[in-house]
Amino acid sequence: MGEALHRVLEWHSGPQGRQHTLERLMAAAAQMYGLDARRDERLQRSVKAILGSAACAPFFDPASLRWQGNEVPLSWRELDMRLDRLVCLRGDGAVPDTWWVLDYKLHPAPQNNQEYVSQLWRYREAVRALQPGEPVRCAFITGQGRLIDCTEQVADRFDFES
């Protein structure tokens, strides 16, 4: 189910994604991952909740983005990782362009799982190393369409200098 959600969001936000209807992408993912009717319905609810969320929409809107990537491979401190979504959100005169590390989770409260938060921290730190001096934030996008910005939570829990 999680892989199907990732795939639909990747296809939809990729270079060819807007050429196909969202329904077609969801049907293809459901078939690819062998989802039964119940899981297919959950996939559809999650995709529509995420893409229909005002909080999440800017991260999938090409006009709002200076750069975007899905399933972005990175290595940092001898760790190989793959970021679900990495974007550089366009700023305006008052707010600079900001990098966002986005991690998809079906769970409604991933910020309460220390393992998930630690993983998100590593992702953010890898991007900070590649974009020194630029703002880098991190958030979970849940299957309920919530954007959970964990930048401050991560900063409070970890010593970034070590």
Q: Where are the domains of the chain?
A: 2-51, 58-157
pTM of the model: 0.90
Instruction: Identify whether the C-beta of residue 117 lies closer than 8 Å to the C-beta of residue 150.
Output: yes
Tell me what the mean pLDDT of segment 32-38 comes to.
Answer: 96
Give residue 30's pLDDT.
96
**Contact indicator for 68, 62 with CB cutoff of 8 Å:** yes
Q: Does domain 58-157 have CATH number 3.50.50.60?
A: no
Cα separation of the two ends of the chain: 36
Q: Is 80 exceeded by the pLDDT of residue 7?
A: yes
Q: Are 102 and 82 spatial neighbours (Cβ–Cβ below 8 Å)?
A: no
Could you count the other beta carbons within 10 Å of the beta carbon of residue 117?
19
Lowest-pLDDT range of 71-75, 119-123, 153-157: 153-157
Virtual CA dihedral for 143, 103, 100, 158, nearest 10 degrees? 120
CA-based nearest residue to 145, from 87, 93, 97, 105:
105
pLDDT surpassing 60 at residue 98? yes
146-162 residue pLDDT tens: 999 999 876 555 554 44
Alpha carbons 68 and 88: distance in angstroms, whole number: 6
The least confident of 13-22, 82-91, 107-116, 126-135 is 13-22
